[in-house]
Amino acid sequence: MSYVRNDSLMYQMPVHFGPCVTPRQNKEGNRFIYDQATRLTKHTIVYESDPEALSAVLPQRFELAAPYVIINMNMLRDVAWLAGHGYNLTGVSVPTRFHGEKGVVEGNLLLVMWENHADPIITGREQLGYSKIFASIDDIHTYGGVSKTELTSWGFRFLELEFDANRQPENLEELKRVLNNPDSQGIMHYKYIPRTGGGFTQADAEYVCLNPKAAKLPDDVKKYPADQLTYMGGQVRWHIPTWEDMPTQYHVAQALGSLPVKRIVGAVRSEGYTLGDLYGQTTVM
């Protein structure tokens, strides 16, 4: 007798073997928020770029809110939904406004996120609408107060990030303003899944997703101390690939690497714990 899918539980392909484990569902079908917290070390760098060039990579109905590029490099460890394993990610976003049918939504638009493991990529793309793709991402290594990492694809190094605790940000107040915009409603994503057949040129799903800043965990979830922040200087180095260097991602790295780095505003390291599972992720029309 064939199986019947339980509509009250989460599934991902392949669905034939029952409900799946994701950051939002454990093997019993409950959330992980009452399990151990993820240990998170996050490095962020902000730089000013060209408004016209940034606008060229925004989807329709989006407008640039400020001419900045924000790059996050996160190391996640002791991850409950991965049974204590961990992974690294690097996301690139820009401050935007989305003109939707029900009004304007302001927040950073995630242009792309690289991760170094398939599991978070799959669930993030399918469930949340994140523009996630794969890269090899070095752990942050620190010597003499300078922390470094790099991203590679098929052996090609396309991004280097440096965070220097020996230097202060070029403009600390500007950095804080960009990263803590009081008008931001959260982080936005542009979800696109192609329809099977018919030339594979039509969308099966195409809409904007929002991780709302207002989303809160239940009151009975364990509380952790506030993150420890260290503001610092930083550097960004993009390396432009050819198609042969990054066969399926060259256009992504070419576009981002071609954005002018007019001025590094500053960087910050954040150390702490998180139980956030993005369960409040929603769509914006």
Question: With bands split at pLDDT 50, 70 and 90, how would you rate the model's confidence at 214?
Answer: confident
What's the chain's Rg over C-alpha atoms?
19
Instruction: State the pLDDT at residue 284.
Output: 95
pLDDT tens digit sequence for 32-87: 999 999 999 999 999 999 999 999 999 999 999 999 999 999 999 999 999 999 99
Q: How far apart are CA 103 and CA 118, in angstroms?
A: 35
The Cβ of residue 273 has, within 10 Å, a number of other Cβ atoms equal to 15
Please tell me the predicted confidence (pLDDT) of residue 215: 87
Q: What is the mean pLDDT of residues 255-267?
A: 99
* Residue 11: CB atoms within 10 Å: 17
Distances (CA, A) of 165 to 144, 168, 231, 267: 9, 7, 7, 9
Contact between 109 and 94 (Cβ < 8 Å) = yes
List, in order of start, the domains of the chain with CATH numbers: 38-277 (2.40.400.10)
- Strand (E) or helix (H) holding 54: helix 51-55
